[in-house]
Structure 1
C-alpha cells in the first residue's frame, strides 16, 4: 500500500485492475454453488385433477431436477394415500438429473387421501452425507385427509404440529411449502415454514409452480449468478460454465442466444458444448467453456430469468433464512474468494463497487451501497445490518458486485413475519367512551411471559398518550385502554421488547393501526363541548337576576344601551329605532339561553354605535353648511 501513496486516482484504479486480473488468472479449480440436501414432496391426491388439470407439476419437478447444483444431495417423493419414492435420495450428478427428469413423468392424480404426516416422516428419514443445509419442499392442494372420520384427520394434523414439526426444526430442516388451491390448509403450511425458517408460497395456478420452485431453490441451493441487464450479460475469463434459465409464456418468441462473436444458437442448432433443455414454460441452456465477452438472448425480459455460473473466482454470500420475524437481528455477510480463501488485499476491495438491491413488499426498489466501511479486516468479510426490513412481507435481496473485469450477483428471497398482531376499536360497553387495544402474539414464535408491550396513541393534534399493556394468560392476549380527549382519528403504535421461543432477544414495532374515535358519549372538541354545556345550563353556574318590572323592561327595549344621546347644543336625541325582539323560543321558555341573549346584545350595540356615528356625521355636515352660508352673507 505504501507504493500507492502519491499516485493519482486513475493510476490507483489501473493498479487495482491489474491486481484483480492477476487474482483471476491465478485462480485454479472450478468452484460450484454450496451443496445442499433438497427433498421434494408432491401431492398426487385426486383433487389435483381439478387444481392441476394439465399436470404442470411434471415440468416444474423437471425444472427443479435440472437446477439443483452438482454435488448436492436430493430425493423426490409423491404422496396421497401414502408416500411413494419418485427418485431415490442420493448425490446429484448428470446421471441423477437425467433419471429424475424421467421419473417426473410418473406423477399422477389418482389417490383418494392426503397423508401429509406420513410424507414428512418419509422425507426426514433419508440420511444426509456430511454437514450441509437440509431442505424439504412440500406441495399440496388440500387438507390432512386420511379418512372420512374427522377425528382421525384432526389427530393426524395435531401430530404434525405437536410432534413432527418440532422434530424437523430440531434436526435443522427448513420446510418450504406451496399451497396450490384455496382448499389447502394454508394455516398448517404457513406454520411449517415459519417454525423452520422456510418459505411459504401460494400458487394462483399450476402455471406458477415452475417459478415458485426456482425461487425456493434460490434459498435452498443458492447459486452465483451473472447480472442480466435487459437481455445481455457479460462472461469473464474465470467462468467455466454458465446455465441460462429463461421463462416463456405461450406468446413468447422462440429463444435464441447470441455469442460475443455474433454466432446464434437455437434449440435445434448449437455447438457441441451447448446443452439445450426445452419444456412447457421455460428453456434451460448450459454452455461449457463459453466465449469471453457480451452475450445476448432474444426472449421476453423476465425478472426471474437468470444466468448461474461455475467459476474459478467467487462471490461467497452467507445464506439468510427464507423467513424471519420482525426485530430479529439479520446481517448480510459476503466475501470474495480465491481457491476457497477470502481475499484480504485492501487495494482489491478499494476498486470493488458493491451494492444491495432490496425489492420491498410494496414493490419499491432501494439500492444500498456497501463500501469498505462495512469490510472487516483481516477476515475480508463485508457485514451490513439488514435494518431496513422493518415491515412484514416478502422481500427480494440481490447482492450485486462490479469489479470492472467481472460482475457477480446473488439473489435471496426472504419473508418477514410479525410475531404479534395489533388491533384497536372504540368501545362504550361499560358506559365510558374509550379505545380498547389488544395485541395477540404468535405463541409459536414469541414468549409472552418474557415480553413487554407498550402502546402509544397519537391524535390528530399530534398529542400522544401511552400505556403499558397487560398480559391476560387465559385469553392469550395483551390489553390496554386509552381515553382520547377528543373525537376523531387516532393512530396507535406499539413497541415490543421480548424473547422468541428459541431464546433470541427481539425488539420491534408491528404495523400501526388507525382507529376512528366517534362514539355517542365520547368527549368532543373543547369549544363545542363548552357551548353544549352552556346551552343546557350544566357547565357554568349563572348568578340569580331579579326579573325587571314592565316599565323597566319597556325602557330597556326603547333604549337598550342605557346611554343618553345629545347633540352639540345639548338637545336630547332619540336613539335609532331597534328591530323588534324575536319571539321567545321553546328553549327560552324552558331556561335562559345565554348564547341567544349575548347575540342579541351584540347586534344592538353594533346598531347603536352605528347610529351614533351616523348622527355625528350628519351634525358635522349641517354645521359646515351653516358656516358656508354665513360666509356667503358676509
Structure 2
C-alpha cells in the first residue's frame, strides 16, 4: 500500500506547487545541469544532488518540460527533454547513480552550450557546480585554455543566451567555486545566482531557484504554526529537517495528528532523508501546526484566491529603491472594491536567508485594485528573499522570491595591477548619468570614463605590505532626481588583488574573507608555522615514548640497513614537502587575475 501511495505522489507531483502562470501561458522549460567532477565527492558526499533532482521531479508542474544533464570532462544527457509526466518523474528518480559517475575535469562552457542549444521558447537552465573552469591539459597551455573559456562564458556565451531567451540560474556549492563567474553569467541572463556554502544548504538553494521559475502562493509558517482559510482547496507542506531527525508530525485544527506512517489515504506523504513533502487535499480551516523541526520550511496553498505581482526583479542594487506592484485575484479576476476581502493590507519586505528583515514598506491600494509601493534601497549585498504579503482578518497570502543584492558597479584590476576597471551592472547606469569619485588614504584619484558603461581609475604607488581601502562614491541622475551612493570600500591587498571590503576574489575564488592587512596575514602564517613546529615536537616526544615500548619488538629490524634507509627517505620526504608548501604559499601571494 505504501508503494502505491508513493506512485500516486509521483503521478500528481505537478500539483505540489501552484503554478505562477495561467493555463494560456507557456509552461516552463527547465534544464538541470549537475556537476559530476571529482571534487563533488568531497563537496557533496551524501549526493544531495539526487535529493534536489527528486525535489524538482515532485515540484515541477505536469505541463512543464524538463531535462537532466551531467558534465565533467564530457557532457551527457541522461534524461532528454520531455514533458514532465509520470514516466519522466520515474526516470528522474532513477538517475542517482549517474550523479556519482565522476569525471576528472569541469567544462562549464560546453555544458551550458549543449544544454541550452535545443530550440524552444523561454528556457530556464539550472547549473549546479562546485568548482571553476578546468579543462584537460597542463602548464601554460592549460592556463590559457581555462582563461579563454572563462572569458568566452562571460563576454560571449552569456549575452548570446540572453538574446535567445535563455535564463541561467546558478548554484555555487563549496568555497572554491568561481562565484564571480557564476554570478556574472546569471546576471547577464536575468537568472538567480544562489549560494550553498554547505551541502545541507543545497536543497534550499535549489528550491529558491525552482520558486523563481514556478512561483506559488504561500501562507506564513511561524513557530511551526500556519492558518488555513476556507478558500484553500489544498496545501503542500515542505518540511526540512536534519538527516537523522525523527519525522515531523502534522496536527490539524481539531487536534488530529498525522505522521508519515499514520495518515489518511488521501494525504500524500513523501519522506526523504532531509525533508518531508506532504499534500493535504480539502484541509480543515483553522490553525495547523507542525511538531518537530521546521527550519526553512514552507507551506504553499491552492486556492481560487491568489496573490499576483508584477515580475519581481532578480537583482536588487545597493543604493537603489525597488518599485513593486501587487494585487489579489479570484478565478483570474482582479479584486476591486467590494470584491476585495475586508481589511486587506499589503506589505513588502526584503529578508536575509535567516529570515531577518532587512527593509520593508507598505503597499498602497489604488482604485484599480493594484497595490503599489517602493522598497527602500538595500544596504548589504548577497542572497536575499523578496516577500510580498497580503493579509486581512481572515485571509493571508505570500509570494516569496529569491533575489541577488549586488553593487551597481563591478570592479576588477587590469593585467599589471595599475588600474581599477569599473563596469556598470545596473542596466540604466552609464557615463552620461553617473559620476564616480574615488580616493585612497584620503588622496583623490582621477576616474576616467573610457566607454558608455566603463570607467578607469589609475592607482598610485602603494606600500606592497599594506592593505588599503579604495573609497567609491557615485552621483547618479535618473528621472529628474540626483542622489549620492557610497559603495562599500574596495580593499587593495598585498597580493594586488581587489575585493569588496576585503573579500578574496582572485583567480581561485573563495568565500573566505582576506585579513585586513598584510601584517596580519604574515603574523597568521608565522603563527601557523609555530603551531606546526610545536605539533612536530609533541609528536617527536610521543614517538620517543612509543619507541621505548616497541623497542624490544623492533630492535632486530633496526639493525638492518634497509630500515634506516627507509627512515631516512621518510625524513627527506617530510623536508621536501615542507619546502614545497612554503613555495606554494609564496606563489599564492603573487598577483592573480581579479574578478568582482
Smaller-chain TM-score range? 0.5 to 0.7
Choose 438-447 or 292-301, whichever is displaced more: 438-447
SS of aligned partner of 2:340: helix
Q: Extract unaligned runs of 5+ from structure 2.
A: 1-16, 22-26, 413-418, 461-467, 492-596
Correspondence for 2:476: 497
1:389 counterpart = 2:374:
no
Aligned counterparts of 2:320 and 2:196: Cα–Cα separation in 1: 28
Sort the Cα spacing of 1:514 and 1:115 in 2 relative to 1 into closer, same or farther, 3 A.
Answer: closer
Aligned-partner Cα distance in 1 for 2:43–2:195: 13
In the TM superposition, what is the alpha-carbon distance from 1:306 to its structure 2 partner?
0.3
Structure 2 counterpart of 1:441, from 422, 425, 438: 422
For the structure 1 residues 52 and 251, does the alpha-carbon distance in structure 2 shift closer, same or farther, using more than 3 Å as the test? closer
Distance across 1 between alignment mates of 2:190 and 2:482: 16
Counterpart of 1:511 in structure 2 is 487
Match of 2:344 in 1: 352
The equivalent of 2:498 in structure 1 is none
Note if contact 1:401-1:407 (Cα within 8 Å) is conserved in structure 2.
yes
Question: In the alignment, which residue of structure 2 is the partner of 1:208?
Answer: 201
Instruction: Report the counterpart of residue 453 of structure 1 in structure 2.
Output: 435
Corresponding position of 1:285: 278
Q: Does 1:318 align with 2:310?
A: yes
**Is the counterpart of residue 63 in structure 1 residue 45 in structure 2?**
no
Post-superposition shift, 1:315?
Answer: 0.8
Residue among 168, 173, 184 paired with 2:161 = 168
Q: Does 1:124 align with 2:116?
A: yes
Residue in 1 that maps onto 2:266: 273
Shift in Å at residue 508 of structure 1? 5.7
Aligned equivalent of 1:253: 246
- Give me the whole-angstrom Cα distance separating, in 2, the residues matched to 1:422 and 1:49: 33
Question: 1:294–1:182: structure 2 CA closer, same or farther, 3 Å change rule?
Answer: closer
Q: Is the 8 A contact 2:266 2:280 kept in 1?
A: yes
Aligned mates of 1:316, 1:31 — CA distance in 2: 12
Verify: 1:33 aligned to 2:23, yes or no.
no
The 8 Å contact of residues 456 and 467 in structure 1, kept in 2 or not, is answered as yes
What is the alpha-carbon distance in structure 1 between the residues aligned to residue 350 and residue 195 of structure 2?
Answer: 22
SS of residue in 2 equivalent to 1:39: strand
Which secondary structure does the structure 2 equivalent of 1:389 belong to?
coil
* CA shift for structure 1 position 422: 8.7
Q: How many residues align?
A: 450
Residue 393 of structure 1 contacts residue 417 of structure 1 at CA under 8 Å; is this kept in 2?
Answer: yes
Offset from partner CA, 1:507-532 (integer Å, 9 cap, x none)? 661325599xxxxxxxxxxxxxxxxx
| Counterpart in the other structure of 1:410 | 399
Asked whether the equivalents of residues 346 and 371 of structure 2 are also in contact (C-alpha less than 8 Å), the reply is no
**2:539 corresponds to:** none
Q: Distance in 2 between matches of 1:248 and 1:153?
A: 39
Whether the 8 Å contact between 1:195 and 1:445 is mirrored in structure 2 is: no
Alignment RMSD, CA only?
3.7
Normalising by structure 2, what TM-score?
0.67
Distance 1:490 1:188 in 2: 24
Cα deviation for residue 120 of structure 1 reads 0.7
1:111 alignment partner, SS class: coil
Could you tell me how far 1:97 is from its partner in structure 2?
Answer: 3.0
- CA–CA separation in structure 2 for the residues paired with 1:287 and 1:366: 33
Structure 1 residues 120, 351: closer, same or farther in 2, change over 3 A? same
Give the equivalent residue in structure 2 for 1:431.
Answer: none
Q: 1:441·1:448 contact (CA, 8 Å) conserved in 2?
A: no
The C-alpha deviation readout for 1:102-129, integer Å capped at 9, x for no partner, is 3344312422222211211122123446
Tell me the secondary structure at the aligned position of residue 312 of structure 2. Answer: coil
Aligned-partner SS, 1:370:
strand
Higher Rg of the two aligned structures: 1
Superposed CA deviations along residues 342-362 of structure 1, whole A, max 9, x for unmatched, are 111257266102222332589
Structure 1 residues 450 and 86: CA distance shift in structure 2, 3 A: farther
Pairwise CA distance, 1:307: 0.6
Flag structure 1 segments of 5+ consecutive residues without an equivalent.
1-29, 424-437, 460-464, 482-488, 516-634
Q: In the alignment, which residue of structure 2 is the partner of 1:92?
A: 84
Distance in 1 (alpha carbons) for counterparts of 2:222 and 2:230: 19
Equivalent position to 2:65, from 73, 88, 102: 73
Q: Give the superposition deviation at 1:81.
A: 2.4
2:586 matched residue in structure 1: none
Partner of 2:526 in structure 1? none
- Aligned mate of 2:390, from 392, 401, 416: 401
Instruction: Give the match for residue 508 of structure 2.
Output: none
Q: The residue matched to 1:300 in structure 2 has which SS?
A: coil
- What secondary structure, in the 3-state scheme, does the structure 2 residue paired with 1:87 have? strand
Taking the aligned partners of 2:47 and 2:354, their CA distance within structure 1 comes to 32
